[in-house]
Amino acid sequence: MMKIIKTSLFIFALLMVSASCSRKLNDNSNQQEPQISLSDSYKNHFFIGAAISEDQILEKDNRSLSIVRNQYNTITPENALKWMFLQPSPNKFEFDLADKYVEFGLNNDMHIVGHTLVWHSQLADFMNEVTDKTIMSNYVSNHINTIVKRYKGKIDTWDVVNEALNEDGTLRESIFLKTLGENYIIDAFKLAEKGDPNAELAYNDYNLCNPKKREGALRLIENLQKENAKINAVGIQAHWKLNTPSINEIEKSIIAYAGLGVKLMFTELDISVLPNPWEVVGAAVEQNFDKFIGDPKMNPYPERLPDSMLQKQAKRYEDIFELFLKHEDKISRITFWGVTDKTSWLNDWPIKERTNYPLLFDRNYQPKQAYQSILDLKK
């Protein structure tokens, strides 16, 4: 009898091993996803999430979608809610993709971000032709009303205005500023609040830890507050490098913004490991870098990122998250701009056709050292 039991156990064990081998063979990376979740580990501190692409929303990229489901508790649409896609021609709204995005968030119990209502870039073409103040004002209010009301109670946070500032902290000469004057920011926030009084409202921009731009953003927030427009948060995009901005400047910024009573969100976090063309040639921000396409100096890791660089990046992420934890009372959300290195926008910006490695998951959907370093902080 004992022998029969032992033989059956042996056969059972063999079957288990072979099942797990065939699972691994079917899985082209030969590895499994991590069992632990970033958002669970940080759930007592802040939301952690990712921007998701059209392919993910349409469930065409299920491996990265499963990372989103398992690791994150907040989502931002990489493009689906931008003006050019939502209202490509006057008063003609296309909600299919945006609806699916919101549905995904609701089904997975995510904190859902709406990005973005008023932004000079990725606008519909017709908007760039408007010169008349009343026409522009009607378009903007109709856009905000229609969208915010449609997703009332579903979208939790709105990036109401994106990138309204120049690097020196003055207001950008956008089509909105040109046609509407500087009150367009206040009006946009007031309209968003009217559309959904319970939604959290944010101003979002890049380089917001640079002293001059920070001063400008602080003025912009104070101005909204003075005019009794509701603003709950500032969104610091956080497209950062290995050495800049310094932890010191980030900390100063957290303290300065929190001093105005708004929460901080780090909304588009990624850390590029590639040479920065502005440093190489000292060029203006608007410069086109096509002359660098294919230049191996600007694309030093086309096959794989060396271990030393992976470690450097992991340390940088660790330092940043250590700071976030230190100021957790002031921070409500951290969102990565994408899920895996494979589809990061930084493979094509500011120089096209490079191989960058800015995120926590590699091209085989596997967690990198950076992922581990963030998780280890919570052990």
* Residues found near ligand GLA in the complex (CB under 6 A): 115, 162, 206, 237, 268, 345
- DSSP 8-state symbol, 110: P
Cα maximum dimension of the chain: 92
Burial code (b: 16+ CB inside 10 Å, e: under 16) for 155-183 equals bbbbbbbbbbbeeebebeebbbbebbeee
Q: How far is Cα 53 from Cα 49, in angstroms, rounded to an integer?
A: 13
- Please state the closest distance from residue 267 (CB atom) to ligand GLA, in A: 8
Looking up tokens 């000079």, which residue turns up? 120
Secondary structure class of 47 (helix, strand, coil): strand
- Please state the closest distance from residue 15 (CB atom) to ligand GLA, in A: 48
- Please state the closest distance from residue 10 (CB atom) to ligand GLA, in A: 55
- Please state the closest distance from residue 242 (CB atom) to ligand GLA, in A: 19
Number of neighbours of residue 89 by Cβ within 10 angstroms: 10
CB closer to ligand GLA, 116 vs 179: 116
Closest CA to 116 of 369, 335, 364: 335
Q: Which residue is nearest to ligand GLA (CB)?
A: 345
Let me know the angle formed at the C-alpha of 248 by 247 and 253, rounded to the nearest 5 degrees: 95
> C-alpha 135: how far from its chain's center?
32
- Residue 36 structure tokens: 């632990």
Closest CA to 194 of 165, 160, 241, 162: 160
- Please state the closest distance from residue 162 (CB atom) to ligand GLA, in A: 5
Q: How far is Cα 149 from Cα 145, in angstroms, rounded to an integer?
A: 6
- Residue 141 structure tokens: 């209010």
- Please state the closest distance from residue 37 (CB atom) to ligand GLA, in A: 25
Catalytic residue among 163, 173, 303, 318: 163
CB closer to ligand GLA, 87 vs 369: 87
Concerning whether 167 is annotated as a catalytic residue, the answer is no
CB closer to ligand GLA, 159 vs 312: 159
Q: Where are the beta strands (DSSP E) in the chain?
A: 47-52, 74-77, 111-118, 157-162, 200-205, 233-236, 239-240, 263-271, 331-336
Concerning whether 279 is annotated as a catalytic residue, the answer is no
CB closer to ligand GLA, 173 vs 348: 348
Which residues are annotated as catalytic? Answer: 163, 268
